[in-house]
Amino acid sequence: MRVLDSHLHLWDPELLHYTWLEGPLAWLFGETEIEHARIGNATSERAVFVQAETIEDDFLDEVRWVASLAARIGVVGIVAGARLDRGTDTTAHLEGLAAEPLVVGVRHNLQGESDGLAVSAAFVTGAREVAAHGWAFDACIRASQLPEVARLAGAVPELRIVLDHLGKPQVGTADAPVAPTMEWVRDLDDLARHPNVLCKLSGLPAEAGGDWSAEQMHPFLDAAADAFGAERLMWGSDWPVSVIGPAEADDPYANEDGTPMYQPTARSRWADAVSGWAERRGHDVDAIMWRNAEEFYRVGARPPREDAREERPRRGFLGWLRGDRA
């Protein structure tokens, strides 16, 4: 099975600035870390990097850092951070991003924004500029914001939009699963009526706090398939956000107090869960795990570029697991 991960994060808190990292996530997740999280049964593995919510001043530096790693880790496209509601500042930022060959899309993280921003005149203007550059837009929202993204899709039909994490519905946990709500299914169906919108099968493990089962997720995957069709779905790992939770069985580094920690096999487990579901349902597994993301982000003929980088001392989570926690 070949895998094009449509939603991979990387970060380096010693190089860039983040205000949201805490606990097991507040460490470097870069080249070495992703090499230890490869998908076990993948015959070929590539990824699209999605901006990791640095501070705004670091958006362009984040792109350049990831581009410097891309060839070695298999990143074939970058979804860059951008604010689309800043008028001439938005225009200038997008022009700066246009000089970076690996940029294939942008994300203005909407999940914490006030109601109405995504359909404001300033945002719609910025969205049209994104489309004019030939880029896609990642919509990271909460379930209540699905109607707003549908309005954006209608206002800018030339903009390719992908819904991150199925709109973050409540899923419960493995022991206490929650069924999809009628409101979420309705709003997902309404969004899918816009042909310029696709959906990422990503992020649900994080919504379960890392305590999930494949069977628990099937109703949500089924709802997405019913709404979008398999030809508009793409798999994403949401690594490393979606690999934090209770210790996996037989993990020698498990926290004695039971607090959440990094789950070494969770990325592979999520790939297996989605590909196994797709196969059982008779969906095109290669389309969901590779081809749809390749076509949406237009990365089929885009090899990673090789850039030099300066070696620096590392403080990644692997060192943290081994006791380097000072």
Give this prediction's pTM.
Answer: 0.94
* Closest CA relative to residue 177, chosen from 201, 205, 200: 205
Tell whether omega for the bond before 240 is within 30 degrees of 0, i.e. cis: yes
Whether 24 contacts 244, CB under 8 Å: yes
Question: Do residues 2 and 39 make contact, with C-beta atoms less than 8 angstroms apart?
Answer: no
Q: What is the pLDDT of residue 118?
A: 98
d(CA 20, CA 52): 10
Instruction: Give me the phi and psi of 78, to 5 degrees please.
Output: -130, 125
Rounded distance between C-alpha atoms, residue 15 and residue 228, angstroms: 39
CA atoms lying within 13 Å on the CB side of residue 214: 14
Beta carbons within 10 angstroms of residue 56's beta carbon = 14
Would you state the pLDDT for residue 227? 98
| pLDDT score for 96 | 98
pLDDT at 25: 97
- Boundaries of every domain in the chain: 2-321
Q: For residue 125, give every residue at least 6 positions away whose Cβ sits within 8 Å of its Cβ, in sequence order, or none.
A: 87, 90
Number of H helices, E strands in the chain: 12, 10
- Residue from 115, 109, 170 nearest 141 by CA: 109
Residue 252's pLDDT is what?
87
Beta bridge partners of 160: 136
Contacts of 52 (CB under 8 A, 6+ apart): 9, 10, 11, 18, 62
How far is it, in rounded angstroms, from Cα 326 to Cα 33?
19
Q: How far is 23 from 53, CA to CA, in rounded Å? A: 17
**In order along the chain (326 residues), what is the average pLDDT of each group of 10 residues?**
98 98 97 96 97 98 98 98 98 98 98 97 98 98 98 98 98 98 98 98 98 98 98 98 94 87 97 98 98 97 48 52 45
Residue corresponding to tokens 């519905």: 169
Helix (H) or strand (E) holding 299: none
- Give the CATH class of 2-321: alpha beta
